[in-house]
Amino acid sequence: MEKKTKIHAEDGKQDLVITREFELPLEYLFKAYEDPEIVAQWMGTNVLKLESKNHGSWHFETTDPKGNKHGFHGVIHEFVPNQKIIRTFQMANTPFPPQLEFLEFETLSESRSKLTMQIVYRSAADRNQMLQLPFAQGINMAHNRLEEVVKSLI
Amino acid sequence: MEKKTKIHAEDGKQDLVITREFELPLEYLFKAYEDPEIVAQWMGTNVLKLESKNHGSWHFETTDPKGNKHGFHGVIHEFVPNQKIIRTFQMANTPFPPQLEFLEFETLSESRSKLTMQIVYRSAADRNQMLQLPFAQGINMAHNRLEEVVKSLI
Question: Which site among A88, A90, A93 would you substitute to test the B interface, given the most B Cβ atoms closer than 10 Å to its Cβ?
Answer: A88
Tell me, what's the pLDDT at A1? 66
Per-residue pLDDT tens digits for A72-102: 999 999 999 999 999 999 999 888 999 999 9
SS3 string, B42-73, reads HHCCEEEEECCCCCEEEEEEEECCCCCEEEEE
The predicted model gives A5-32 an average pLDDT of 96
**Rounded Cα gap, residues A121 and A118, in angstroms:** 10
Full-model pTM:
0.95
- Check residue B13 and report its DSSP letter: -
**Rounded Cα gap, residues B89 and B44, in angstroms:** 17
Chain A contact for B102, CB < 8 A? Answer: yes
Query: Which residues in chain A have their CB less than 8 angstroms from residue B50's CB?
Result: none
For A21, A39, A59, A131, A154, the CA distances from A6, given in Å and listed in that order, are 9, 21, 26, 13, 25
Residues of chain B with pLDDT under 50: none
Q: Do A100 and B78 touch (CB under 8 A)?
A: no
Tell me, what's the pLDDT at A154? 85
Tell me, what's the pLDDT at A101? 98
Q: Do B77 and A88 touch (CB under 8 A)?
A: yes
Per-residue pLDDT tens digits for A92-151: 988 899 999 999 999 999 999 999 999 999 999 999 998 988 888 889 999 999 999 999
**Rounded Cα gap, residues B70 and B33, in angstroms:** 19
Tell me, what's the pLDDT at B135? 83
The predicted model gives A23-49 an average pLDDT of 96
Tell me, what's the pLDDT at B16? 97
**Rounded Cα gap, residues B22 and A105, in angstroms:** 45
Candidates B73, B86, B122; nearest CB to A102: B122
| CA–CA min distance B23, chain A (Å) | 29
Query: Which residues in chain A have their CB less than 8 angstroms from residue B121's CB?
Result: 120
- Predicted-assembly ipTM surpassing the 0.90 threshold: yes
Output b/e per residue, A130-140; b: 16+ Cβ within 10 A: beeeeeeeebb
Chain B contact for A102, CB < 8 A? Answer: yes
Chain A contact for B88, CB < 8 A? Answer: yes
Residue B17 contacts residue B136 (beta carbons within 8 Å) = no
